[in-house]
Amino acid sequence: MSSADLPVPVPPRILDRAVPADRPAAQRHDLGRYLRQMRLPQLGETGQRRLAGARVAVIGAGGLGAPALTYLAAAGVGEITLFDPDTVDATNLHRQVLFTEADLGRSKAVAAAEHLRARSPQVTVRAVVETLTPANALELLPGHDLVLDGTDNFPTRYLASDACEILDLPLVWGSILAFSGQVSVFWGAGGRGVTYRDVHPVPPRPGEVPSCAEAGVLGMLCGVIGSTMAMEAVKVLAGMGDVLFGRLALYDALRARWDELPLARDPQRLPVTEIEDVMLTCGLPGPTGPARDEVTAAELPALLAAGARVIDIREERELAEGGMIAGAEHVPMGELLRGADHEVAGAVLYCAAGTRSASTQRALAERGIQVRSLAGGFDGLAGSGVEIQRL
């Protein structure tokens, strides 16, 4: 389904809505603040008033949420509800541009809300310091006009999409990893539109897809994708432009290139009518428990000396960046899973942090192939005495 097959993408409940008269004067929008964007004929005063009357839920104040929140508030979106149970960590600061060192250890939701109010006092920002769950999503999201998902885990992505389909809310979604990003806008539209489940019908197994903590991410990429998400949200709310309905925008930072894939609803997929807890199927990033057969960094030197087979399952670019264990073989995770046979039995697998190797170990065990996973992965070898070969 193309975006042209859908009605004008402005939720009817915000069409021509004015700023409520009972709002405190300090929170009523001074349209002069937005004069530069109101001069755009596609937005104008009508679009600006739609933004002022809009209510947006943002899930996550991290790498994507930080720039998206900043621009939504700056654009004059009237009410923002921010969900984030996390606290600010030093590793966040290179990409989560809402925060400073003074925020370390603080609630992300509370700190972000304070910064947004300071920059845009006319915007109402509500901080919710809790996780959106299957038990509370249908209670916390109603009353909003749009949801923006800035999270980095699959259970919340499926949860947000399912809740929005049930509530008939448009969902702005984005994803980042290393130098690549994706953006789309999902809307069930009464069973006619595309949702996250049409793009990813089956939740991945734990560790099957590396996290940003494993593969890394460039801070500026968060700004590109997060700002694009804010742009799409404003287009939906103001009723302007060609929104990314039925399209997936793909950004490659190294090539400085945007590509696009058309999306279509699976005609066999029934509309979502209840929330599935996909924690039961894919879990949060990382293995849900210890692998059934692990090797520690301290044990590895003796195994190598004894001639144990060691297989690096990371991607080629990861090897180029940090090298690999001397004497190890390189077979990427996907290739190993596709072609593994009993010849790999007994091998020790490792990835960056142990997540993918633990997942692969379990997948192979289900096929009767017993291998072991290096706990902590390549990144946990510091001080172990294992020789590293630079490529």
Q: Is 282 a catalytic residue?
A: no
Q: If DSSP states are collapsed to H, E and C, what string results for 284-352?
A: CCCCCCCCCCEECCCCHHHHHHCCCCEEECCCHHHHHHHCEECCCEECCHHHHHHHCCHHHCCCEEECC
Q: What is the DSSP letter of 103?
A: G
Catalytic residue among 164, 222, 282, 351: 351
Question: Which residues, including other chains, have CB under 8 Å from residue 200's CB and lie 6 or more apart?
Answer: 157
From the number of C-beta atoms within 10 Å of its C-beta (0-12, 13-18, 19+), residue 74 rates as middle
Respond yes or no: is residue 212 known to be catalytic.
Answer: yes
Out of 164, 212, 222, 282, pick the active-site residue: 212
Residue 309 tokens, joined = 């087979």
Q: Give me 347's structure tokens.
A: 């091998």
Residues 117 and 80: their CA atoms lie apart, in Å, by 11
Distance CA 343, CA 352 (A): 23
Q: How far apart are CA 170 and CA 378, in angstroms?
A: 41
Q: Which of 115, 77, 119 is nearest to 231 (CA)?
A: 77
Residues designated as active site: 212, 351
